[in-house]
Chain A
Amino acid sequence: MRLDDDLRFGVRSLTTHRTRTWLTLLAMGLGTAAVIVLSALGEGARHYVLDEFTQLGTHLLVVIPGRNETTGGPPPLLGETPRDLTLDDAIALRRSRLVKRFAPIAVGSAPVSFGNLEREVSILGSTSDFIDVRHLELASGRFLPPGDPARSRPVTVLGDKLARELFGNQQALGKWVRIGDRRFRVIGLLASRGQSLGVDLGDLAMIPVASAQALFNSPALFRILIQASSRSALPAAEEAIRTLIRERHEGEDDVTIITQDAMLTTFDRILNALTLAVAGIAAVSLMVAGVLIMNVMLVAVSQRTAEVGLLKALGAARRQILALFLTEALLLAGAGTAGGLVLAFTGVRLFNSQVDAFNLVVPLWAPLAAVSVSLLTGLVFGLLPALRAARLDPVVALSGR
Chain B
Amino acid sequence: MFPVRKNAMLIRDFSAFTLGAVRAHPTRSLLTVTGIAIGVAAVVLLTAIGEGVHRFVLAEFTQFGTNLIAVTPGKTSTLGMSGAVISNVRPLSLTDAEALSTLPEVRAVVPMVQGNAAVESNGNSRRTMVFGVGPRVPEVWQMRPAIGRFLPQDASGHARAFAVLGSKLQHELFGDASPLGKRVRIGGEPYRVVGVMESKGQMLGFDLDDSVFLPVSRALSMFNRESLMEIDLLYAPEADSATVAERVHNLLERRHGTEDFTITTQDQMLEVLGSVLDVLTMAVGALGGISLVVGGIGILTIMTIAVRERRHEIGLLRALGAARRQILVLFLTEAVALATFGGLMGFLIGAGGAWLIGAAVPALPTHTAWDFVLLAELTAALIGLAAGVLPAMNAARLDPVAALRDE
Q: Is B297 a contact partner of A69 (Cβ separation < 8 A)?
A: no
B 272-313 to A, binary, CB cutoff 8 A, 1 in contact else 0 = 000000000000100110110111011011101100000000
Complex Cα gap A195–B79 (Å) = 9
Number of interface residues of B (CB under 8 A): 67
Q: How far is the CB of B276 from chain A (nearest CB, A)?
A: 15
* Max count, chain A CB within 10 A of own CB: residue among B28, B35, B81, B294: B294
Q: How far is the CB of B282 from chain A (nearest CB, A)?
A: 14
Query: Is A92 close to B, CB under 8 A?
Result: no
A20-B304, A285-B291 in contact; A295/B31 too (CB < 8 A)? yes
Q: Is B288 a contact partner of A284 (Cβ separation < 8 A)?
A: yes
A20-B305, A295-B302 in contact; A107/B86 too (CB < 8 A)? yes
Q: Which of A120-128, A130-138, A239-247, A346-354 contacts B (4 or more CB under 8 A)?
A: A120-128
Interfacial chain A residues near B79, Cβ < 8 Å: 195, 198, 200
Query: Is A68 close to B, CB under 8 A?
Result: yes
Q: Is A291 a contact partner of B115 (Cβ separation < 8 A)?
A: no
Interfacial chain B residues near A73, Cβ < 8 Å: 205-207, 210
A 272-299 to B, binary, CB cutoff 8 A, 1 in contact else 0 = 0000001001101101110110111011
* Max count, chain B CB within 10 A of own CB: residue among A81, A82, A181, A203: A82
Q: Is A74 a contact partner of B31 (Cβ separation < 8 A)?
A: no
Query: Is B42 close to A, CB under 8 A?
Result: yes
Q: Is A288 a contact partner of B39 (Cβ separation < 8 A)?
A: yes
A80-B114, A215-B89 in contact; A298/B28 too (CB < 8 A)? yes
Interfacial chain B residues near A68, Cβ < 8 Å: 116, 127-129, 210
Size bin of chain A's contact surface: 35 or more
Interfacial chain B residues near A220, Cβ < 8 Å: 87, 224
Q: Is B210 a contact partner of A110 (Cβ separation < 8 A)?
A: no
B 68-82 to A, binary, CB cutoff 8 A, 1 in contact else 0 = 000001110111111
Q: How far is the CB of B299 from chain A (nearest CB, A)?
A: 9
Query: Is A109 close to B, CB under 8 A?
Result: yes
A68-B116, A69-B210, A287-B38 in contact; A278/B294 too (CB < 8 A)? no
Interfacial chain A residues near B85, Cβ < 8 Å: 78
Q: How far is the CB of A78 from chain B (nearest CB, A)?
A: 6
Q: Is B86 a contact partner of A222 (Cβ separation < 8 A)?
A: yes
Interfacial chain A residues near B75, Cβ < 8 Å: 120
Complex Cα gap A198–B82 (Å) = 11
Q: Is A288 a contact partner of B127 (Cβ separation < 8 A)?
A: no
A74-B206, A298-B28 in contact; A81/B116 too (CB < 8 A)? yes
Interfacial chain B residues near A141, Cβ < 8 Å: none
Q: Which of A30-38, A43-51, A166-174, A358-366 contacts B (4 or more CB under 8 A)?
A: A30-38
Query: Is A328 close to B, CB under 8 A?
Result: no
Q: Is A81 a contact partner of B88 (Cβ separation < 8 A)?
A: no
Q: Which of A21-29, A229-237, A260-268 contacts B (4 or more CB under 8 A)?
A: A21-29
Interfacial chain B residues near A26, Cβ < 8 Å: 297
Q: How far is the CB of B394 from chain A (nearest CB, A)?
A: 10
Q: Is A282 a contact partner of B287 (Cβ separation < 8 A)?
A: yes
Q: How far is the CB of B9 from chain A (nearest CB, A)?
A: 27
Q: Is A108 a contact partner of B86 (Cβ separation < 8 A)?
A: yes
Query: Is A180 close to B, CB under 8 A?
Result: yes
Q: How far is the CB of B331 from chain A (nearest CB, A)?
A: 15
Interfacial chain A residues near B236, Cβ < 8 Å: none
Secondary structure of the B contact surface, majority rule: mixed
Query: Is B144 close to A, CB under 8 A?
Result: no
Complex Cα gap A296–B81 (Å) = 58
* Max count, chain B CB within 10 A of own CB: residue among A27, A83, A195, A252: A27
Determine which of B35, B77, B118, B188 lies in contact with A291 in the assembled complex, contact meaning CB atoms within 8 Å.
B35
A68-B128, A73-B210 in contact; A285/B290 too (CB < 8 A)? yes
Of all chain A residues, the one with the shortest Cβ separation from B82 is A109
Complex Cα gap A291–B297 (Å) = 11
A20-B301, A30-B297, A282-B290 in contact; A80/B39 too (CB < 8 A)? no
Q: Is A23 a contact partner of B304 (Cβ separation < 8 A)?
A: yes
Chain A, 281-335, CB within 8 A of any chain B CB? 281-282, 284-285, 287-289, 291-292, 294-296, 298-299
Q: Is B225 a contact partner of A291 (Cβ separation < 8 A)?
A: no
Of all chain B residues, the one with the shortest Cβ separation from A280 is B287
Of all chain A residues, the one with the shortest Cβ separation from B220 is A80
Chain B, 81-123, CB within 8 A of any chain A CB? 81-90, 113-118
Q: Is A76 a contact partner of B27 (Cβ separation < 8 A)?
A: no
Secondary structure of the A contact surface, majority rule: mixed
Chain A, 202-261, CB within 8 A of any chain B CB? 203-204, 215-216, 218, 220, 222, 252-254
* Max count, chain A CB within 10 A of own CB: residue among B73, B77, B116, B127: B116
B 203-224 to A, binary, CB cutoff 8 A, 1 in contact else 0 = 0011100100000000000111
Interfacial chain A residues near B118, Cβ < 8 Å: 252, 254
Query: Is A188 close to B, CB under 8 A?
Result: no
Query: Is A66 close to B, CB under 8 A?
Result: yes
Q: Is A70 a contact partner of B128 (Cβ separation < 8 A)?
A: yes
Query: Is B34 close to A, CB under 8 A?
Result: yes
Of all chain B residues, the one with the shortest Cβ separation from A385 is B27
Query: Is B379 close to A, CB under 8 A?
Result: no
Query: Is B32 close to A, CB under 8 A?
Result: yes
Q: Is A292 a contact partner of B83 (Cβ separation < 8 A)?
A: no
Interfacial chain A residues near B89, Cβ < 8 Å: 108-111, 180-181, 215-216
Query: Is A63 close to B, CB under 8 A?
Result: no
Complex Cα gap A182–B188 (Å) = 35
Q: Is A281 a contact partner of B84 (Cβ separation < 8 A)?
A: no
A68-B127, A295-B301 in contact; A76/B116 too (CB < 8 A)? yes
A20-B301, A80-B225, A288-B294 in contact; A281/B42 too (CB < 8 A)? yes
Complex Cα gap A343–B114 (Å) = 54
* Max count, chain B CB within 10 A of own CB: residue among A26, A78, A204, A253: A78
Determine which of B28, B38, B258 lies in contact with A299 in the assembled complex, contact meaning CB atoms within 8 Å.
B28
Q: Is B80 a contact partner of A295 (Cβ separation < 8 A)?
A: no
Complex Cα gap A181–B88 (Å) = 12
Q: How far is the CB of A299 from chain B (nearest CB, A)?
A: 5
Q: Is B294 a contact partner of A289 (Cβ separation < 8 A)?
A: yes
Determine which of B116, B168, B301, B305 lies in contact with A66 in the assembled complex, contact meaning CB atoms within 8 Å.
B116
Q: Is A109 a contact partner of B297 (Cβ separation < 8 A)?
A: no
Q: Is B225 a contact partner of A218 (Cβ separation < 8 A)?
A: yes
Interfacial chain A residues near B205, Cβ < 8 Å: 73-74
Of all chain B residues, the one with the shortest Cβ separation from A288 is B294
Interfacial chain A residues near B74, Cβ < 8 Å: 109, 120
Q: How far is the CB of B72 from chain A (nearest CB, A)?
A: 11
Of all chain A residues, the one with the shortest Cβ separation from B222 is A82
Q: 9 A-B Cβ contacts within 8 A?
A: A78-B86, A82-B223, A108-B83, A108-B86, A109-B74, A109-B88, A122-B84, A288-B294, A289-B294
9 residue pairs, one from A and one from B, having the closest CB atoms: A66-B116, A82-B187, A109-B84, A80-B223, A122-B83, A80-B115, A108-B87, A216-B87, A285-B291
Q: Which residues of chain B have a CB within 8 Å of any CB of chain A? A: 27-28, 31-32, 34-35, 38-39, 42, 46, 73-75, 77-90, 113-118, 126-130, 168, 187-188, 205-207, 210, 222-225, 229, 258, 260, 284, 287-288, 290-291, 293-295, 297-298, 300-302, 304-305
Beyond A82-B115, A82-B117, A285-B293, 17 additional pairs, beta carbon < 8 A: A66-B117, A68-B210, A69-B126, A69-B127, A76-B115, A79-B116, A80-B114, A109-B82, A110-B89, A124-B83, A220-B87, A254-B118, A284-B42, A291-B35, A295-B31, A295-B301, A295-B302
